[in-house]
């Protein structure tokens, strides 16, 4: 289902089971996977790849060359940037074009969630099942199962695949809602 007032470039590949709501824009060569929901006013830039079962909420801006793996949630108004040294003009005063800079995409791994109004800077990777809090500004990679918040964002907890914070129990991290158990090694979490 594609809303009649959505703008989908004919060169984009949108799965038949995807839903694209009003005033969303999907640019050329973008890929939107099975069962995705693209909210009103969302922008999916040229060449962005969105895996299956993703939810991109209203007014989210996903700039190329971003990649979202399966099952990613992007909250309303979130922004994925792509220029680590933004300028409108070159040193000679000439307006910059796409040939004057190298874009660095954001990568969001399987099952991760990005909160409303969060900003993810170009070149950042958000690990599997990680959770970025609403309004966070993410300037560094986020480990799998990490929950980050603040400006700049810092890890404040670990979360399970259910999205709930994990409880520490004798050096192990337990998801009370799912029963999953993890151990922490060198700043990373892995299943026990």
Active site residue 85: yes
Which residues are within 8 A (CB) of 91 and not within 5 positions of it... i.e. 6 or more apart? none
In the set 43, 85, 99, 145, the catalytic residue is: 85
**SS3 letters for the chain?**
CECCCCEECCCCEECCCCEECCCCEECCCCEECCCCEECCCCEECCCCEECCCCEECCCCEECCCCEECCCCEECCCCEECCCCCCCCECCCCCECCHHHCCCCCCEECCCCEECCCCEECCCCEECCCCEECCCCEECCCECCCEEEECCCCEEEEEECCCCCECEEECCEEECCCCCCEEEEECCEEEEC
CA angle 81, 82, 87 (to 5 degrees): 100
Return the active site residues: 85
């Amino acid at each position: 289902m594609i809303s009649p007032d959505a703008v989908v470039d004919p060169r984009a590949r949108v799965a038949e089971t995807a839903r694209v709501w009003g005033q969303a824009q999907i640019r050329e060569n973008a890929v939107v996977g099975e069962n995705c929901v693209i909210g009103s006013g969302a922008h999916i830039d040229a060449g962005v790849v969105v895996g299956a079962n993703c939810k991109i909420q209203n007014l989210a801006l996903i700039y190329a060359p971003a990649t979202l793996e399966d099952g990613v949630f992007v909250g309303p108004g979130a922004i994925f940037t792509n220029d680590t040294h933004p300028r409108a003009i070159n040193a000679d005063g000439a307006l910059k074009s796409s040939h004057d800079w190298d874009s660095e995409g954001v990568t969001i791994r399987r099952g991760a969630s990005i909160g409303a109004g969060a900003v993810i800077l170009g070149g950042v990777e958000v690990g599997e099942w990680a959770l970025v809090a609403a309004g966070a500004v993410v300037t560094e990679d986020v480990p799998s199962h990490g929950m980050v918040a603040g400006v700049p964002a810092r890890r404040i907890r670990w979360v399970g695949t259910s999205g709930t914070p994990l409880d520490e129990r004798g050096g192990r991290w337990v998801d009370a809602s799912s029963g999953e158990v993890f151990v922490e090694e060198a700043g990373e979490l892995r299943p026990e």
